[in-house]
Amino acid sequence: MRNEEMLLIPGPTPVVDSIYDAMASETRGHTDPRFVAQYKASIEKTRELFNTDGEVFVVAGSGTIAMEMALVNTVAAGERLLIISQGYFGDRFIQLGKAFGIEIDVLQAEWGKQVAAEEVERMMKEHTYKAVTITHADTSTGVAADLETLVPIVKQHGALVIVDGVCATAAMEEDMQKEYGDAGHTIDVVLTGSQKAIGVPPGLAIVAFNQTALAARKKIERVPAYYCDIANWIPIMQDPSKYFATPPVNLIYAYDEGMKLVLDEGLTKRYARHTSFGRAVRAALKVYGMQPLADETVAASTLSCILYPEGVDDAAFRSTLAKKGIIVAGALAHLAGKAFRIGHMGNTTEDMLATAVEQIGNTLVELGHEVSVDEAVRRFKEEVSAVV
């Protein structure tokens, strides 16, 4: 790999050489038939990833644009939205809802925990919601949402399910035709970005709408957006030779290559790999006395928020580790200084994570903590092979 540093923050994630190569290919006009064919191919791959019979949108923007597109095209001003929040990114829907005059209710979990299904059930009975947002993996806490339980509860009450997959897509299952619960309920909208578990540089917003969600858009008379109005993008997604706004040509090259890698690996295998990576990293770090914020039963497979043991200084730890070429992220909000976040998603490999476990141990030793590096690396290898 061309990378000089190992970017183990929860996005962007390590970019492999073939994606860099694709990105550095000659910039062509956005209506050049060769580019149009590739844009079309990347859209097809996106449909396959989500297994949707609806519409997908691949446009320039970050994950936040994707959140905005998901929301403004399904929930009109004055309609009601329930936000199931397991951290900072769940909370972002509060700001978004407010910006667009949407009536919001929020269920906030204690950081590190899931929102209780009974709470969701209670809110759904009390109010009529147009939609409910669920953050599949919250990047601040490393907590995953339990779609198996939540989707049926929301759908039974007739609301749309919007899944924020920015830190989950291509690592955790988001099959839009998968039937949840006895009545066969499905997810309506999934939104994501290019730079997390898909492993492509930042800059693409990716959203998928099923037929129910597309019908909801049609009922909204005036969407308070222009670039984010999916009605402007539907003709382009169906025929990318048409123009609405110039697509980021080189990022589309990179995305098409990134999606090829995702589909070539195979979704089932890729999801299992992420499950094992998450478990193995957390098991190994426990050897150092580093405890994950989230219990293993609710932990995301894409990233972990890890509490420091007594006496480890956040700034010293992360800068010493960075000198060894491993970049991890600080924790957010009230956990800043008390924890760090490590990504183990996308095109990250077993060898990379084994090296990271080793270097985290070496860093702790250098900072004067007595830990067994060999034992942690052994634990990592044992756990990683236990699942895959």
Which residues 209-228 are close enough to bind ligand PLP by CB under 6 A? none
For the CB of residue 137, give the shortest distance to ligand PLP in the complex, in Å.
6
Nearest to ligand PLP of 332, 377 (CB atom): 332
Distances (CA, A) of 144 to 104, 111, 113, 338: 22, 12, 9, 21
* Per-residue 3-state assignment (H helix, E strand, C coil) for 238-283: HCCCCCCCCCCHHHHHHHHHHHHHHHHHCHHHHHHHHHHHHHHHHH
HSE of 147, CA atoms in CB hemisphere, 13 A: 27
Candidate list 73, 85, 135, 275; residue touching ligand PLP; CB under 6 A: 135
Whose CA is closest to 36, among 220, 231, 296, 256? 256
Total site size for ligand PLP, rule CB under 6 A: 12
Residue nearest ligand PLP, Cβ-based:
63
Q: Is 232 in the site for ligand PLP (CB under 6 A)?
A: no
- Tokens at residue 320, please? 């010493």
For the CB of residue 136, give the shortest distance to ligand PLP in the complex, in Å.
7
Nearest to ligand PLP of 36, 134 (CB atom): 134
**62, 39 Cβ separation under 8 angstroms:** no
Candidate list 63, 142, 247, 361; residue touching ligand PLP; CB under 6 A: 63
Nearest to ligand PLP of 276, 302 (CB atom): 302
Which region, judged by CB under 6 A, interacts with ligand PLP, from 44-52, 135-143, 152-160, 314-322? 135-143
Which region, judged by CB under 6 A, interacts with ligand PLP, from 18-26, 62-70, 104-112, 177-185? 62-70
Task: Give dist(CA 340, CA 229) in Å, integer.
Answer: 37
For the CB of residue 335, give the shortest distance to ligand PLP in the complex, in Å.
16
How would you class 24 by CB atoms within 10 Å of its CB: exposed for 0-12, middle for 13-18, buried for 19 or more? exposed
* Amino acid (1-letter code) at residue 198: I
Site string for ligand PLP, 68-107 (x = CB under 6 A): ---------------------x------------------
Nearest to ligand PLP of 136, 282 (CB atom): 136
Peptide bond into 12 cis (omega under 30): yes
Which region, judged by CB under 6 A, interacts with ligand PLP, from 133-141, 146-154, 358-366, 374-382? 133-141
Query: Angle 267-287/373-387 helices, nearest 10 degrees?
Result: 150
Q: Is 206 in the site for ligand PLP (CB under 6 A)?
A: no
Nearest to ligand PLP of 346, 361 (CB atom): 346
Candidate list 62, 156, 212, 291; residue touching ligand PLP; CB under 6 A: 62
In the block, residue with structure tokens 């009974």: 118
Which residues 151-180 are close enough to bind ligand PLP by CB under 6 A? 164, 166-167
Nearest to ligand PLP of 145, 281 (CB atom): 145
For the CB of residue 338, give the shortest distance to ligand PLP in the complex, in Å.
20
Distances (CA, A) of 371 to 194, 304, 362, 376: 37, 20, 9, 9
Nearest to ligand PLP of 63, 112 (CB atom): 63
**Three-state SS at 137:** strand
- Tokens at residue 278, please? 């998450």
Task: Give dist(CA 215, CA 161) in Å, integer.
Answer: 14
**Binding stretches for ligand PLP (CB under 6 A):** 11, 62-64, 89, 135, 138-139, 164, 166-167, 193
